[in-house]
Structure 1
């Protein structure tokens, strides 16, 4: 296995390498880079006191530390700078370092450059985690050794020495990772592209262009799987370099995966339509998850037998924080949909239930419009508990939506998650459904949507 480490070692040996931040993946890589002969500097906006024992541990390994307010001064004189996805690529100091000769890269970019096996990658505004997880599950069901990483799973570059050419890597890629990538996977999936992360990208076009990088650097033979029902992902057909297939649940296609009128999930290829499994046998809740299953099917077609695809469709129970059942208490069902950090995700979640529900919404403001969410709330929600920065914005959009006055929608506000859960419990009667479906990011109160979702579950389970 050690032979697969050597290409990485030869890339960093004797070079001056700066890491931006000491997150989990970088922490592991920093030690490896030191062992491979790199001169490593950690650039972190935290002070040594804030880092605690880690600062001393890194210094003991010979890592130079550039910490605190002026941490970006550590970019000077570097041969390579390892960017974390959370650090914006177009930050002036980073761009200046690149112009001065530093190679600006990342854990995922180096992995794409050096990985000895084929890579399947998924991006999109919605559905990418479930689609990525389904692809990995299908390949494992077929007996493949799968390495799951990127935006989910674990960092893959630190384990590249244990990956063989016969394996397959399945990765989820965010726009923050893709924005600077100049390599694309053998199989690329774009689920959809809707307004998101506009607090970080300068405009919608920059966000779209970042997503396009998953396709732009493909070389045949390759495959691109695109969501047909989203205008932006459909338009990316023009970027495809090899085989291109669709997925859609709203119409039949002669080139890709689709939901037939009779409720059968099918795959069409070269004039042949292959039935896979009936919609009612799919374990995942919601029509948006039918789309995710179709996207995954189109991605693995030819690599995974139909029987294995169908088995995963019947057995896959979902991913944490995605319409995740939490508990039933006093006849009320509670669900955790903390992943719903944008209006489109919340809309998909609302449409997954066949009755009006109670939702907890609101959070950090990503500068996304809430007007498209308002009619869906009126159609699918009986009571709305709002919190966070976007609570007033969501309420304004709902109150100004035609039909609000006669909708009977109840709106309440809470100062935090504990207050929101308590308010939802008071509003709920036996037979009701309560879902955390924020339509907003978590960063006003939580470091990420996972922490938000777990706190919600703790509160609900303590009721």
Structure 2
């Protein structure tokens, strides 16, 4: 165990540590801190009956439960961990800071203690796929990789087993970055566009949070930035180390770029592979590879990159082929949680007009560009959820819209949406769930939404019964 990690664990004995939010990211931490002698408080808005067996398990560990609407009142801990989705400027946390209490997060502590090289990936779109590609490339090169962060697994519980010659590859959300004061060895910014404006007070706060991935790097760091994205490329001026711009539109002196003939090149003239080698469909996935190659170049050779690109079939819920029924292909793109993600993903890939299932929780994002893309790429739009009205308005207001082009249908939920698509689709059609919205109006996460869609599609009969 690294000496710094050992010292940290030894210092926990007898310390009061509060965890705000009893969710998947905090539960392993609660157990770890309890085992090292901390006096743990688990704070959550939910009542005991809503927590079920989790409450009993925590109490068996000696954890003090603080539940209900007042769960953040009178925080008296020495160290307070906020869950990533909690607003950084929550009044109770602001009060705790003024009182001199340490308000931190799992990822902040991990960055402080991690003994190995860290690759950190952020962006409005594409960060999970890019993070995964980077991990695959490094694994294929023989590295022991610790993959986590916003991608779904907290890494701090693994800290005792991480060795200096390992690598950590972490996905970082704006919620995690907003309080970060230490940067990764390699920072990757896939793009920045409006997102999470239901949580951040405005677009400026969102951009400034993303910028933290660059601001706290050192002169020995590498910063990989999307040179084609106006907001992200503006981060370059804050980088202290090497800057690698990746681009599919122009050459890059140090990063990966896409030549006019479809060849992916690094720097002036190092050819890596034709973009057609990449198994994942869509130009957005070419961009993801450009980012990943720029991040690992010098650690991973071209042959390994080519092998991974040809074999890696993607992450669940990202334009995932679920099933073909009567010649109709059904795709799950539940990760389409913003208009830009649906535009650059599902609505950019298929040559023919598709049947699109969209709508969901309102993050207060603009839909005008989505409406234009839908008119161009969709023949039947099936809408549900809180944002159905806004999306329909963006479509009917788009240049080129004519009544019935696309046809628009409104449904009450996913079951009705899938049945509507099934009845309308003909052999050769593409049906895709890509909501352009978060899931929280009906589901706890985009994964749960995607799994429900897949379950419904897999339950469709193999031969469609036509109505008489």
**TM-score with structure 1 length normalisation?**
0.97
Distance 1:338 1:399 in 2: 24
Taking the aligned partners of 1:8 and 1:148, their CA distance within structure 2 comes to 22
Task: Report the equivalent of 1:360.
Answer: 357
Mapped partners of 1:309, 1:238: distance in 2: 29
Map residues 107-186 of structure 1 onto 2, 5 A cutoff: 107-186=106-185
1:215 paired residue number: 214
Aligned partners of 2:58, 2:366: CA distance in 1, in Å? Answer: 44
Name 1:412's counterpart in structure 2.
Answer: 409
Question: CA offsets, 1:176-209, max 9 Å, x none?
Answer: 0001111110000001110000000000000000
Tell me, yes or no, if the aligned pair for 2:372 and 2:394 is still in contact at 8 Å: no
Alignment of 1:456 with 2:458, yes or no, is no
Tell whether the 8 Å contact from 2:192 to 2:231 is kept in structure 1 after alignment. Answer: yes
Shift of 1:2: 7.5
Q: 1:120 aligns to what SS in structure 2? A: strand
Asked if 1:32 is matched to 2:32, the reply is: yes
Contact 1:190 1:233 in 2 (8 A): yes
CA 1:68/1:114 → structure 2, altered by over 3 Å: closer, same or farther? same
Q: Distance in 2 between matches of 1:447 and 1:27?
A: 17
Aligned residue in 2 for 1:100: 99
Name 2:333's counterpart in structure 1: 337
List alignment gaps of at least 5 residues for structure 1. Answer: none
Give 4+ residue runs of structure 1 displaced > 6 Å after superposition. Answer: none
Corresponding residue SS for 1:139: helix
Q: Is the 8 A contact 2:107 2:156 kept in 1?
A: yes
Give the superposition deviation at 1:313: 1.1
In the alignment, which residue of structure 1 is the partner of 2:251?
A: 252
Q: For 1:104 and 1:72, how far apart are their aligned partners in 2?
A: 13
Q: Please name the residue that 1:43 is paired with.
A: 43
CA contact (8 A) 1:43 1:74 kept: no
Q: Which ranges of structure 2 fall in alignment gaps of 5 or more residues?
A: 461-468
Counterparts in 2 of 1:239-278, with a 5 A limit?
A: 239-268=238-267, 272-278=268-274
More deviation in 32-41 or 114-123?
32-41
In the alignment, what sits opposite 2:303?
307
Question: 1:58-69 maps to which residues of 2 (within 5 A)?
Answer: 58-69=58-69
Kept in 1, the 8 Å contact 2:5–2:113? The answer is no
The secondary structure found in structure 1 opposite 2:73 is helix
Mapped partners of 1:185, 1:55: distance in 2? 35
CA RMSD, 1 decimal:
1.3
The aligned residue for residue 421 of structure 1 is 418
Contact 2:2 2:115 in 1 (8 A): no
Q: Tell me the equivalent position of 1:432.
A: 429
Deviation of residue 46 (structure 1)? 1.2
Residues 7, 114 of structure 1: 8 Å contact kept? no
3-state secondary structure, aligned to 1:122: strand
Question: Are 2:375 and 2:395, in contact at CA under 8 Å, matched by a contact in 1?
Answer: yes
- Residue 288 of structure 2 corresponds to 292
Distance in 2 (CA, whole Å) between partners of 1:205 and 1:152 is 24
Partner of 1:389: 386
1:401 matched to which residue of 2? 398
Aligned counterparts of 2:74 and 2:56: Cα–Cα separation in 1: 18
Aligned residue pair count: 459
Q: TM-score, normalised by structure 2?
A: 0.96
Q: Distance in 2 between matches of 1:127 and 1:7?
A: 37
